[in-house]
Amino acid sequence: MAFDFMGIIPPVVTPFDGNGDIKTAAIRANVRFLLDKGVHGICFGGSTGEGHTLTGDELVTIAEECAAEVNGAVPLIAGIIVNSTRDAVQKARRMEGLVDAFQITPVHYLFKPDDDATYRHFETITAETEKPVLIYNVIPWNYLSPALLVRLMEGLPGILGVKQSAGDLKLFADLMVSAPEGKRIYSAIDALLYPAFAMGSHGTIAANPAAVPGPCVALWNAVQAGDHALGRQIHESLLRFWNTIFADNLPANVKTALSLQGCDAGLPRAPMPATSPERAARIEAALEQLLRFEGAVAHAKAA
């Protein structure tokens, strides 16, 4: 099935137990939770999913569980966070038969390749897989400029588009107006999903949709329907919620939000700490206000 890769695509968390092992059954429960909220796709192995901690075997296991639960209903995107072209290609090959696309970062350890080397990195990856590749532009010291991203999208047919993850809305806006026709530009600027959607973003793959998929779907539907009054209300409540989970242990805080909604999300993988009781209380208070917008989904769809 051909997908258009539009809308709310949450980066599902990876549930770990106290020993740091993956709780396999909880993966499928998390995917079911997201699908029940009306999301438009599923991504795994991203930053919210603690993908940087996962082995190749673990990624394959998660891919298998997600693919079985999704069962072709929505696109499934595999995250790959690695430091070499060779490693990216190997991981992509192992998951290619299970997913519809890949989300791949530039290399992220201490040393930064130049623009030509980065181009060759994605050129090699796209040549080795038939599935489209989304550039996950998130690495602070290897942040790809709009000019380089446009070069990659223009030169490599296998590039699906870009997931833009910095907080600068001007950079996002520049990319939106300069991207080649047919390429997808997703906002991962959690605090500013509403203005990104209003500017024509093709969707989002970000922490907020993983934590509170229902309100994020409502926000997307409201903007698509032109109901900006509702969109702003959801935005303001979503921003207050984001301010409670945004921290170095963001995946743990997303898991806390999910557990408060009755979804077993497990623990973070060591050495990252679990959410503190004080922060959990703030998350719960903001969550209570935000979840009232889940009832706005039907209204936005009908508008």
User: Where are the domains positioned within the chain?
Assistant: 7-302
For the chain, percent of residues with pLDDT exceeding 90: 90
Tell me the pLDDT band of 300, cut-offs 50, 70 and 90.
Answer: very low
pLDDT score for 168: 81
32 has pLDDT over 90? yes
Q: What is the CATH number of domain 7-302?
A: 3.20.20.70
- pLDDT (0 to 100) of residue 295: 67
Distance CA 46, CA 206 (A): 9
- pLDDT computed for residue 25 by the predictor: 93
Helices (H), the chain: 24-36, 56-70, 85-95, 115-127, 146-155, 169-178, 193-198, 207-211, 213-224, 228-245, 250-260, 277-290, 296-302
The residue among 97, 89, 162, 165 whose CA lies nearest residue 123 is 89
Decide if pLDDT at 57 tops 60.
Answer: yes
Between 298 and 91, name the one with better pLDDT.
91
Instruction: Read off the DSSP letter of residue 292.
Output: G
Mean pLDDT of the region 212-216? 98
Query: Mean of the pLDDT values across residues 13-37?
Result: 97
At residue 299, does pLDDT exceed 60?
no
Instruction: Determine the average pLDDT of the residues in 68-85.
Output: 97
